[in-house]
A and B are shown apart, each in its own frame.
Chain A
Amino acid sequence: MTGKEYRTITDVKGPLVFLNKTEPVAFGEIVTLRLANGDIKNGQVLDTSDDLVIVQVFEGTAKINRETGVTFMGDVFKLPVSTDLIGRILDGAGRPRDGGPEIVAEEKADIIGAAINPYSRQSPHDFIQTGISAIDCCTTLVRGQKLPIFSASGLPHNDIALQIARQAKLQDSDEEFIVVFCAMGITAEEYNFFRSDLERTGALENAVLFVNLADDPAVERIITPRLALTAAEYLAFEKDYHVLVIYTDMTNYCDALRQIGAAREEVPGRRGYPGYMYTDLAMLYERAGIVKGKKGSITQFPILTMPGDDITHPIPDLSGYITEGQIVISRELHQQGIYPPINVLPSLSRLMGSCIGEKTTREDHKSVSDQMYAAYAQGRELRGLVAIVGEDALNERDKQLLDFSGIFEDKFLRQSRDEDRSINETLDLCWNLMANIDTKYLVRLDQKWIEKYHPENRA
């Protein structure tokens, strides 16, 4: 149903329009605004009462005035979904952007999405091999996990995300992921980079793209990830696909949230971001997982750039409080010319324990991963000490660990953008590198694995 058109706007402020004397308007209802020149804008009801209705306008409020006609569309925001979505490119509000036809809806899904009943979830436990050693060995990705990339401007997070999208597979399985890609406020150049890469590898045919670019309306970014996740849920839980959702850049999303909060004169939380940002982000991130009785799954790779490289900034901070770990990209490693510049020390995969070991990856995985991590952490710490007391002050063990930290970065972390290492290759590589350290210092390795895998014993 579409109701009548109102011309009762009283105030316009930032992305918000205030109007009065309307029929009873639903909370969350979709709104169209018709400008004097005939242009149409879209919005959504944020607050509704007998006297006053507040509408958030996605395309910005430029040119809106008291003459603008406002129509309430009688329903909340829904996305038409069907398997026709696969292979399509849509804009940030869900309209075709690729010149193709409108999506023929098999059903229309509410984009807010209902919460998965915690009782109905299934614990993720399937190992996803990304072919990137640092991730597979140290912060193992699990199907159904939400694992963000914490990056910063100027770092190659996009390359890493794409490499993961290209290479991600379940071990011993050809099952492909459907990639749902969601761009929020990234530059056209970044977008073209993603698109042409997906095109080049043929992945585009198996992907759905939702694209809001830097010069697209900022407020629209509030709905773009919700559209993407709605599509992902449909494909995963209605159509049995394994879906990998990559969204970038969460920082632009959060800035749009802040903009709306400011226009509503809400009391801001830290650094001006709304106090409800944790909940808002959780409503996105928690739409990952596996549920009972459904074959598909949603794995999420949100990318965010940390303002000022600061991990305590509210955006990475609140994200870290919700997601199941994080992959941290390091400017220092990048400047050393190492790709992928993943700093494994602050990185973590909280679900790793459930997916590594004899039955899934390899029996020595945990032991190897702990030892690699510990040796690298100690080596890195020694770099600081050496800067003060000099390398001569180190004992034999410390010298070996210090050297190892360099080897770790050069041989283990470093790999090329199209190098797809199997988990076996990664773990064997670890053993070869650890052979640079005297076995007696490798206290985290089980004796039985040393006997079986150490190069000295395999020769």
Chain B
Amino acid sequence: MSNEGVIYRISGPVVTATGMNAAMYDVVRVGHEGLMGEVIELHGEKAVIQVYEDTSGIRPGEPVLNTEETLSVSLGPGLLTQIYDGIQRPLATLEEVMGVFITRGVDADAFDLEKKWTFEPQASKGDEVTGGNVIGHVQETETIVHKIMVPPGKSGTIKDIKSGDFNVTETVCTLEDGTELQMMQKWPVRTPRPFTQKYAPDTPLVTGMRILDFLFPLAKGGAAGIPGPFGSGKTVTQQSLAKYSDAQLVVYIGCGERGNEMTEVLDEFPHLIDPNTGKPLMNRTVMIANTSNMPVAAREASVYTGITIAEYFRDMGYDVALMADSTSRWAEAMREISSRLEEMPGEEGYPAYLSSRIAEFYERAGRVETLSGEDGSVTVIGAVSPPGGDISEPVSQGTLRIVKVFWGLDAGLARQRHFPAINWLNSYSLYPQSLDQWFRDNIAQDFPEIRTQISGLLQTESELQEIVQLVGSDALPVDQQLTLEVARMIREYFLQQNGFHDVDAYCDIHLQYQMAKAILTFQDAAKTAMASGAQLNDVVNVPARSDLIRGRFEKGYINDIEGMVKKMTNEIADTVETN
């Protein structure tokens, strides 16, 4: 058998070839136009291929060429600020070649192979190096130093290392055994990149979203799922995380979702300033856009392309956050391919291996000791789009079994325009235990206790609401009426956060703590005043309280809040005298 076969059958994105010497996951070129595909199943002499481009017009008998490489991504300087399709073709290059519509049969380098980067060696002649060791630095963007590493699996003594301007395919380092190293390396997307060991996470990914950081924190190196029906805020939440979270790098995967949403990110990010570095957000971002109308096989590959890029930056010792919107579309791509393969379906037509694929994907998150002994992490946040919003379906369930953070979006809250529409009663994070020390050391000694009080109040509110539904709130004793007011303040002042507001969209974690404290201070002041005869209505309506609440939309709130709280406390105390 040779390396070239012929097409036997075409069924949508799945093509069967015969007469070819193929191994699993070989990348092949299909038909006269050379469409890119990947071998996903072997049956005797037949190789089943998923094709990453539209197959209409292709005929049996056309040639199939085996490249004998596995599906890989190119890794090196030039990745940042790019927007790729699911198989790492830069969309800007595709536009140059094809125009505004994506046609097919075009190959494109992942980044400019000719561009010269300034390589600053970080190792010297005679140094022993192994896979993962950093041999040089390239200042790729204003904020990110791209560390050039020895590819995993290679090692030796440096015979020669250069300094100066090179493109990514020129040799910058030679080992004694003659191995030549360039700034670009390749890695097969379906294989996790190696590391020395995994650590338990102990640092939160600070997001600037109050409900997330305060009530349901995610750890750097952790994994979170955001399920929710359409229009409940998955994309807005993911985009907020991409904008404001304190990861050093962000990989954003638009997997089977809207084209306009990617355009929005492209329009916005170059102008948005990263609150953590003060530099444009685009500098730390890599985007993958395989929208809903682009080929499903490439959609299936897109999450692997994304996570491999994330791992590569992790290996440099960075904290990377990856957002996948939406993993349900990825699962549906698997389902479509699987049904074309006529595999025995599992639940709801999904392949039986669905939950293991989901688990394998999220397992690629983690905080690790890299091969060169540094600390790096990949945090994964996956959106889930359950049919009808019902999370009893296989993708949601498969996700919830593996992630430790569940941010449940709620259609009812979205309809009330309570954003982010994350349901505080059924969402959870299993990380607080491991993160509390960090919060105590870095934010406030009593941070965990304050959190407990806030969530306790919300819990109590939901119990009281059941009674209110029956008898109306006026029938409750005043102390319980106060509890309802306090809980309302938590919801409207603290949990609600407008993702589109210049100031409110991002809330410093120290400020979050102060806002939570302000609510508890209000509660205490109100209790004291009411014990001395003040009326609930007067207490709630002191002007300084509205000022405090409205203040969060103003710049400089973090400096003013303390004074506002004092003023509120005084005014509340005064309500006693007026009676």
Chain A residues in the interface with B (C-beta under 8 A): 24-29, 46-50, 75-76, 110, 112-124, 237, 266-270, 275-276, 278-279, 282-283, 286-287, 289, 291-294, 312-314, 317-318, 320-322, 324-326, 345-346, 348, 350-351, 353, 370, 373-374, 377, 385, 388-389, 393, 395
Chain A positions within 8 Å of B126 at CB level: none
Contact B57 A121 (CB under 8 A): no
Measured between alpha carbons, how far is A294 from B101 in the docked complex, in Å? 12
Do B293 and A282 have beta carbons less than 8 Å apart? yes
User: Does B291 lie within 8 Å of A286, measured CB to CB?
Assistant: yes
Say yes or no: A317-B57 contact (C-beta < 8 A), given A266-B339, A389-B472.
no
B533 at the interface (CB under 8 A from A): no
Name which residue of chain A comes closest to B259, CB basis. Answer: A118
| Most chain B CB atoms below 10 A, which of A267, A270, A374 | A267
Q: Are B58 and A26 within 8 A (Cβ)?
A: yes
**Complex interface: stretch among B6-14, B452-460, B482-490, B556-564:** B6-14
B415 engages A346 (CB within 8 Å):
yes
Highest count of chain B CB atoms <10 Å: which of A24, A115, A117, A322: A117
Known: A119-B95, A269-B349. A350 touches B263 (CB 8 A): no
A sample of 13 more A-B contacts (CB under 8 A), given A120-B101, A267-B345, is: A24-B62, A25-B59, A25-B60, A27-B11, A28-B55, A75-B57, A116-B102, A119-B83, A120-B100, A266-B339, A322-B258, A326-B231, A351-B260
Q: How far is the CB of A120 from chain B (nearest CB, A)?
A: 4
Q: Are A116 and B259 touching (Cβ within 8 A)?
A: yes
> Interface stretch among B195-203, B211-219, B385-393?
B385-393
> Which B residues lie within 8 Å of A25 (CB)?
59-60
Q: Which residues of B contact A270 (CB under 8 A)?
A: 348, 387-388
Query: Quick check: A112 and B339 within 8 Å, CB to CB?
Result: no
Q: A115-B102, A117-B94, A123-B264 are in contact. Are A24 and B60 (CB under 8 A)?
A: yes
B145 proximity list for chain A (CB < 8 A): none
- List the count of A-B residue pairs having beta carbons below 8 Å apart: 192
Q: Do B289 and A118 touch across chains, with their CB atoms under 8 A apart?
A: yes
Q: Does B184 contact A (CB under 8 A)?
A: no
Most buried by A among B59, B60, B260, B345: B260
Q: Is B410 an interface residue (CB 8 A)?
A: no
Assembled-state Cα–Cα distance A289/B345 (Å): 37
Does any Cβ of A come within 8 Å of B262's Cβ? Answer: yes
Q: Is there contact, CB below 8 Å, between B336 and A279?
A: yes
Chain A interface, >50% SS class = mixed
Q: Bound state CA distance, A438 and B267, in angstroms?
A: 41
Name B's A-contacting residues (CB within 8 A).
8-12, 16, 54-62, 83, 91-92, 94-95, 98-103, 229-231, 254, 256, 258-260, 262-264, 266-267, 289, 291-294, 296, 329, 332, 335-336, 339, 345, 348-349, 385, 387-390, 415-417, 470-472, 474, 500
Q: Which residues of A sit under 8 angstroms from B258, Cβ to Cβ?
A: 286, 322, 324
CA separation between A279 and B291, bound complex, in Å?
A: 10
Complex contact A48–B9 (CB within 8 A): yes
A24–B339 CB distance below 8 A: no
In the bound assembly, the distance between CA atoms of A388 and B475 in angstroms comes to 14
Tell me if A117 and B60 are in contact (CB < 8 A). no
**Please, how many angstroms separate the alpha-carbon atoms of A50 and B6 in the complex?**
11
State which of B56, B92, B348 has its C-beta within 8 Å of the C-beta of A269: B348
> How far is it, in angstroms, between the C-alpha of A266 and the C-alpha of B11 when the chains are bound?
13
- Say which residue of A47, A124, A283, A345 sits within 8 Å of B9 (CB atoms): A47
A268 B387 Cβ-Cβ under 8 A: no
Contact B100 A48 (CB under 8 A): no
- Give min CB distance, A285 to chain B, whole Å: 8
Contact B417 A373 (CB under 8 A): yes
Instruction: Return the chain B residue nearest A44 by Cβ.
Output: B56
Write the chain A residue with the least CB distance to B289. Answer: A118
The chain B residue sitting closest to A354, CB to CB, is B264
Contact indicator B57/A26 (Cβ below 8 Å)? yes
With contact pairs A275-B335, A279-B336, A346-B415 given, residues A294 and B292 touching in the complex (Cβ less than 8 Å):
no
In the complex, are the beta carbons of B56 and A312 less than 8 A apart? no
What residue of chain A has the Cβ atom nearest to residue B263's Cβ? A121
Residue numbers in A under 8 Å from B95 (CB-CB): 117, 119-120
A–B complex contacts, Cβ < 8 Å, 20 sampled? A25-B60, A47-B9, A49-B60, A50-B61, A113-B101, A116-B100, A116-B259, A116-B293, A118-B83, A118-B262, A118-B291, A119-B262, A120-B100, A123-B264, A275-B332, A278-B256, A279-B296, A286-B291, A292-B100, A346-B415
Those 9 A-B pairs whose CB atoms lie nearest each other, nearest first: A28-B56, A49-B9, A282-B292, A312-B388, A119-B91, A114-B101, A120-B100, A320-B230, A286-B293
Bound-complex Cα distance A12 to B469 (A): 60
- A49, B16: Cβ atoms closer than 8 Å: yes
Most buried by A among B16, B254, B387: B387
Q: Which of B59, B263, B474 contacts A48 (CB 8 A)?
A: B59
Q: Are A321 and B8 in contact (CB under 8 A)?
A: no
> Nearest B residue to A29 by beta-carbon distance?
B57
Inter-subunit contact A276/B56 (CB<8 Å): no
Asked whether A322 and B292 contact (CB < 8 A) given A26-B56, A118-B91, A275-B335, the answer is yes
- CB contacts (< 8 Å) of A118 on chain B: these are 83, 91, 254, 259, 262-263, 266, 289, 291
> Complex Cα distance A117/B99, Å?
8
Give which listed residue, B61, B260, B292, B387, contacts A124 with CB less than 8 A: B260
Cβ contact within 8 Å between B91 and A275: no
Tell me the complex Cα distance, A348–B262, Å. Answer: 20
Contacts of A27 in B (CB 8 A): 10-12, 55-59
Question: Among the listed B101, B230, B296, B336, which residue makes an inter-chain contact with A117, where contact means beta carbons less than 8 Å apart?
Answer: B101
Nearest CB on A from B260, distance (A)? 6
Asked if A117 and B91 make an inter-chain contact with CB atoms under 8 angstroms apart, the answer reads yes
- Write the chain A residue with the least CB distance to B290: A118
User: Considering only CB atoms, which chain A residue lies closest to B335 in the complex?
Assistant: A275
Interchain CB contact under 8 A, A114 and B259: no
CA distance A276 to B296 in the complex (A): 10
Nearest residue (CB) in B for A319 is B230
Q: Decide: B291 and A275 in contact? CB cutoff 8 A.
A: no
Specify the chain A residue showing the minimal Cβ separation from B332: A278
Distance (whole angstroms) from the CB of B336 to the closest CB of chain A: 5
Distance between Cα atoms of A27 and B471 in the complex (Å) = 66
- Tell me the bound Cα distance from A320 to B474 in angstroms: 40
A33 to chain B, nearest CB (A): 20
Q: Is the CB of A286 within 8 A of B259?
A: yes
Q: How far is the CA of A327 from the CA of B120 in the complex (A)?
A: 57
Q: Are B417 and A112 in contact (CB under 8 A)?
A: no
The residues of B that contact A348 with a CB separation of less than 8 Å are 231
Closest to A121 in B: B263
Closest to A293 in B: B100
CA distance A313 to B9 in the complex (A): 35
B267 touches A123 (CB 8 A): yes
CA–CA, A324 and B10, complex, Å? 34
Contact of A321 among B11, B60, B230, B259 (CB under 8 A): B230
Min CB distance A172 to B, Å, is: 25
Cβ contact within 8 Å between A112 and B262: no
Of the candidates A112, A116, A373, A395, the one having the most CB atoms from chain B within 10 angstroms of its own CB is: A116
Contact between chains at B260 and A121 (CB < 8 Å): yes
Please, how many angstroms separate the alpha-carbon atoms of A28 and B57 in the complex?
A: 6
Residues of A within 8 A of B389 (CB): 312
Q: Is A283 a contact partner of B293 (Cβ separation < 8 A)?
A: yes
Kindly name the residue among B61, B263, B296 whose own CB sees the greatest number of chain A CB atoms within 10 A: B263
Partner of A393, one of B264, B390, B474: B474
A116-B101 CB under 8 A given contacts A28-B56, A28-B57, A123-B263: yes
> Could you tell me if B54 and A112 are in contact, using CB atoms closer than 8 angstroms?
yes
- Per the bound structure, the CA–CA distance linking A29 and B54 in Å amounts to 13
Give B88 Cβ to nearest chain A Cβ, in Å.
14
- Docked complex Cα distance between A25 and B60 (Å): 7
Q: Are A321 and B415 in contact (CB under 8 A)?
A: no
A320 in complex: contacting residue of B98, B231, B293, B349, CB < 8 Å = B231
Flag if A115 contacts B294 (CB, 8 Å).
yes
With a cutoff of 8 Å between Cβ atoms, the chain A residues found around residue B103 in the complex are 114
- Give Cα distance in the complex from A416 to B441, angstroms: 64
With a cutoff of 8 Å between Cβ atoms, the chain A residues found around residue B16 in the complex are 49
Given contacts A24-B61, A50-B60, contact A275 B349 (CB under 8 A): yes
